[in-house]
A and B are shown apart, each in its own frame.
Chain A
Amino acid sequence: MAQKRRIGVYVCYCGGNISDYVNVEEVAEAVRNDPNVIVSKTHMFTCSDAAQQEIIDEIQAEKLDGLVIASCSPKLHMFTFRGMSKRADLNQYQYVHVNLREQCSWVHTNDKTGATKKGISMVRAGIAKCVLTVPLNAIRIETKPRVLVVGAGVSGMRAAISLADMGLAVFLIEREAEVGGWALQTGKMGPEAQEGTDVVAKLLARINQHENIMLHTQAEVIGKSGNIGDFNVSVRLPGDESLSLNVGAIVVTTGFEPYTPEPDEFGWNAPGVIPLKDFRQMLAETDGSLVYNGKPVRDVAFIYCVGSRQSKSESCTEPNTYCSRYCCMATTYTATLLHDLEKKTGQPVNQYHLYRDVRTYGALEPLYEKARTGGAIFLRWDPSDPPKVSTEAGQLTVKAKDHLLDGEELEIGADLVVLATGMRPRENATLNDVLKIPESKDGFYNEIHLKLRPVETMIDGVFIAGTAQGPKTLAESVASALAAVAKTGGLLMKGYVDLEPLIAKVDPDKCIWCGECLKACPYGAIEKINVGEKEIAFVIESMCKGAGPCVPVCPHDAIEIEGFRDDQIVAMIDASIKELEEK
């Protein structure tokens, strides 16, 4: 048995959430005589300020060196009680949380006696674990006040400017010769009719003037080492030159690739079948009527959802199941641009919009209204019976069924068929190899949590923004870029970052370096080092998340997670079956 401890146990009523099913007084009473327990009490709400103050006073008066709180889920209040422990000068890693609500009272509402018994076992296990805790300190890492932004599209440029405004040094890297990305090819963008090229030019002017931004074009990231707050990145520059950068964080804004239809998809490759991007360019470049291949354009059919919202079939084995978000807005806005052109030239252009669902959400809904009332005809198509595009004697024909005419099939003679193509994840083999950002099933970079942590990745200090993370409109891309800026600033402006010490630990005597832990670690936190003659595993503290897949695969029990050590787990099991053994 380990050295005797002075532990305080506090069992929470949770205002009835726990006490309605678990007899909390009985639980507190059952563990009161444990040799390591000095105080065992109950509170109506342990998280209340009054209860916290009472516990702090008792920790100090009784000189407690361990704390067990049996209340709700640690997700809710673990940090509350860690803060409380800190205020009481008790090491926060010597406090153990027991989840008596979600794991006991709420799931055993039909068996109060059983719930109480289980509650006692759980608290006993908590005490056993607490007995074996050791004081730990957070791992503090100094962060470098420099950021690498990969990809100088609108998202990357906007992020670079805001990061530089915060006083951070920014390295902005672009693979192409020109900055701006796809925004350069959009023509006028809805709804405020700004030219994409103007937007890029304005951002570039600010970047060029900013003394905190270093822009490199035709440059590519080829290597990365280090960890959060202190990365070393190597960048290849044109002419076989290379650049070595030391940065605190990386923001990845590498954007998307437009979807390229399959050879027969909606008549793709036939003359007159073009992507929306090209049509927008035609509109941007024309100074009078629209002309295609020497022929005036009188009828245009737009087909929506090309390469988006697909389902799996024989002809489409790897479907893009997602909505590409921008196409409905871009296409309905194009309709309004065509209306304007009609007014200017006095030459009507008939528009047939073959859509699946019009998703001009939020403030852009009026675009659809404007397109419709301006005379564009909208026809809905069903994925089970998509429109068919064919060419006969040089005449493009689109055949589609109109739901509003009880499914009657129409034949639309068109001069141009414009495909509203969606977004695909960008091919970035080199970068993916270097950064190892996890990808979603769609192939875009994956955030930690879609709603709550939308720009952070599993790799600490590496953030994603814009369409690299998933299809977005330009406004949404900028919003996500600025979210990444806020997270990066929050990380680097403080100058240091504190990491959890509950991480893997290698016993150098037991370890013989078989490499199993390296294979099991999803974070790349294990490396091989030499200690004297011997090769052993080494845990990179700043990269380990304490997830523990390395522990069960080790054939020599040489690796453990602090806070969940084998001796602690065994003690917990022993303690929780104490009552059973006595019978």
Chain B
Amino acid sequence: MPKVSSKLAAAVKCSEEFNADACMHCGTCTAVCPMGYEILPRKLFRYVQVGLEDKVKENISSIYSCLLCGMCSENCPAEVNIPENIRFLRKYINENEFNLS
């Protein structure tokens, strides 16, 4: 059973960059994504918000293959800055998983 990690949840909460509060889980981001991600941004961001670090790590390849093209955020009805959130995640993973800093 996936465990909630306080560390990720706290890091997300303290950051200025990551913000997916307004997400209403409509799925527009997935529909317009040129990469056809298997993990929907909305699901990925929910993992991040809830603090499921293991689940986030399982999807590292998706997070790094994002083009940051901005189609999703351009079309997001809740105006979530999705590429910015992806950048935050890459930074978090660089620091905590790959120990790059």
Residue B32 interfacial (CB < 8 Å): no
State whether A375 touches B4 (Cβ < 8 A). no
Closest Cβ of chain B: how far from A164's Cβ, in Å? 48
Contact among B6, B42, B52 for A350, CB-based, below 8 A: B6
State whether B13 touches A410 (Cβ < 8 A). no
Residue of A nearest to B12 (CB): A375
Determine chain B's interface SS by DSSP, over half rule: helix
State whether A372 touches B21 (Cβ < 8 A). yes
Cα of A348 to Cα of B52 in the assembled complex, Å: 17
Residue B93 interfacial (CB < 8 Å): no
State whether A399 touches B49 (Cβ < 8 A). no
- A525 — which chain B residues lie within 8 A by C-beta? none
Residue of A nearest to B9 (CB): A350
Cα of A375 to Cα of B1 in the assembled complex, Å: 23
Closest Cβ of chain B: how far from A169's Cβ, in Å? 55
State whether B50 touches A377 (Cβ < 8 A). yes
Residue A476 interfacial (CB < 8 Å): no
Closest Cβ of chain A: how far from B13's Cβ, in Å? 4
Residue B41 interfacial (CB < 8 Å): no
- B52 — which chain A residues lie within 8 A by C-beta? 410
State whether A412 touches B13 (Cβ < 8 A). no
Residue of B nearest to A412 (CB): B4
Cα of A348 to Cα of B7 in the assembled complex, Å: 10
| A-contact bits for B7-38, CB 8 A (1 contact / 0 none) | 00110111000000110010000000000000
State whether B6 touches A298 (Cβ < 8 A). yes
Contact among A348, A372, A406, A411 for B4, CB-based, below 8 A: A411
- B10 — which chain A residues lie within 8 A by C-beta? 298, 348, 350
Cα of A377 to Cα of B25 in the assembled complex, Å: 14
Residue B43 interfacial (CB < 8 Å): yes
Cα of A412 to Cα of B6 in the assembled complex, Å: 9
Once A350-B9, A350-B10 are accepted as A-B contacts, the answer to whether A377 and B49 lie under 8 Å apart by CB is: yes
- A372 — which chain B residues lie within 8 A by C-beta? 21
CB interface residues, A 355-408, toward B, < 8 Å:
372-373, 375, 377, 379, 399, 402, 404-406, 408
Residue of B nearest to A299 (CB): B6
CB interface residues, A 464-482, toward B, < 8 Å:
none
State whether B49 touches A413 (Cβ < 8 A). no
Closest Cβ of chain B: how far from A18's Cβ, in Å? 54
Residue of B nearest to A415 (CB): B6
Residue A265 interfacial (CB < 8 Å): no
Closest Cβ of chain B: how far from A58's Cβ, in Å? 69
State whether A413 touches B3 (Cβ < 8 A). yes
State whether B47 touches A413 (Cβ < 8 A). no
State whether A411 touches B47 (Cβ < 8 A). no
Closest Cβ of chain B: how far from A391's Cβ, in Å? 16
Residue A409 interfacial (CB < 8 Å): yes
State whether B43 touches A405 (Cβ < 8 A). yes
Q: Give the top 9 A-B pairs by smallest Cβ distance, nearest first.
A: A375-B13, A348-B10, A350-B9, A412-B4, A373-B21, A411-B3, A411-B1, A404-B46, A348-B13
Given contacts A298-B10, A352-B50, A405-B43, 16 further A-B contacts (CB under 8 A): A298-B6, A299-B6, A348-B14, A350-B10, A372-B21, A373-B22, A402-B50, A404-B42, A404-B43, A404-B46, A405-B50, A408-B2, A410-B52, A411-B2, A413-B3, A413-B4
Can you give 12 contacting A-B residue pairs, CB < 8 Å?
A298-B10, A299-B4, A348-B13, A350-B10, A352-B50, A373-B22, A377-B51, A404-B43, A405-B46, A410-B4, A411-B4, A413-B6
